[in-house]
Amino acid sequence: MPTYNFNQIIPSDETEVEGMKILYADKSEEGVVRYLNDVVYDVRSGIPLHLQMLYPDVPVALQAKREAERRDPEDPFAQPSPDGESHESGKNPYQSSLRMPCVVFVQGSAWGKQDCHGTLPLLVDIARLGFVVASVEYRPAYIEPFPGFVSDVKAAIRFLKANSELYGIDPTRIAVWGHSSGGHTALMVASTGWTREFDEGIYPEQDSSVCACVSYYGVAEFSPFLEGGKFARPILFDYILGKEGAKDPKNVARMSPVTYIQPDKPCPPFLLMHGDVDAIVPFEQSVIMYNKLRQCGKRADFYKVRGANHGNFFWTPEVLRITGQFLKAYV
């Protein structure tokens, strides 16, 4: 059977045909985004937890590893070629070996089971800016109550730092970004980088601190949701904390990101964005977070999205442009 290496460099075919036109390749592949699916970062509660990753440029070693994993031993065309390179791609001579900044994205799900593929098309524009975007799966709160989902995202960050060479990531340039319950989780991850309280499990030698945080309509303080509060939803606490955890009033503060913003504790810059007609997470939640950050002398930018509900009509080109500018400035 013949073997193929589609990236081998061969002499240009100089044939000229009357009427033929010429287009030009772009070896920079600017704007091209590649998708790396179902990277398992840990197994928790018997559940494999995955990252869905978008790359502006997949590292050579990672590409070779993935091709080896999916190679079918029964396919004669999938066997290693005589020169040891993959038939499918081999080593791309134009591929970058630079370490890239990374944005860990937390898909909202009301703290339940996520659809980590649903928002991927909206994240492509950020990957085109030169970021690796890793959409992280966490355990639903009905399987592992708080702080399970926070612990999971922190574990994913430690995984990426520990394996940064393979995944082509600069471990000092990792941000966290989320929306809705994912926005709350992102706020929790970013505001607790100074403590190891929620760091459990894999790669304990790594920390889970980040250099920037973006939250779209995330909860900052849970006390307004208590019975008798302005936006009372006491059933939330049974769901997120479990029935036993909900009995301890200290847990309301423990799962509120504002608790961890303190003048003498480090935290990264924050970008907060929230729709002014949000019917699920009131706009005042981002006001609370912004005011706490400013009172403690922390860096924060805050945008109201006029006419946007809870995700509906929110993801505009302008919102993503500002998000990209913020990430490029701080990551």
Q: What confidence score (pLDDT) does residue 83 get?
A: 45
**DSSP, res 257:** G
Q: What pLDDT, on the 0 to 100 scale, is given for residue 79?
A: 57
What pLDDT score was predicted for residue 62? Answer: 87
Model pLDDT for residues 214-247, shown as the tens digit of each residue: 999 999 999 888 766 666 677 788 889 887 787 7
How far apart CA 237 and CA 248 sit, in angstroms, is 10
- Residue 242: burial class (beta carbons within 10 Å; 0-12, 13-18, 19+): middle
Domains of the chain by residue range: 35-57+97-221+256-330
What average pLDDT score do residues 66-89 get?
Answer: 61
Between CA 163 and CA 61 the distance in angstroms is 12
Quick one: pLDDT at residue 68? 81
Strands 213-216 and 169-179: parallel
Check: CB of residue 308 under 8 Å from CB of residue 180: no
CATH class of the domain defined by 35-57+97-221+256-330: alpha beta
Are 268 and 213 in contact by the 8 Å Cβ rule? The answer is: yes
283-297 pLDDT per residue, tens: 999 999 999 999 999
- pTM summary value: 0.89
DSSP β-bridge partners for residue 213: 176, 270
Q: What is the pLDDT of residue 88?
A: 45
Spatial distance between the Cα atoms of 145 and 186, rounded to a whole number of angstroms: 17
**If you average pLDDT over every residue of the chain, what do you get?**
89
State the pLDDT confidence band at 103, using cuts at 50, 70 and 90. Answer: very high
Angle formed by the axes of helices 181-191 and 148-162, nearest 10°? 60
List of E strands, the chain:
34-44, 47-55, 100-106, 132-136, 169-179, 213-216, 270-275, 300-305
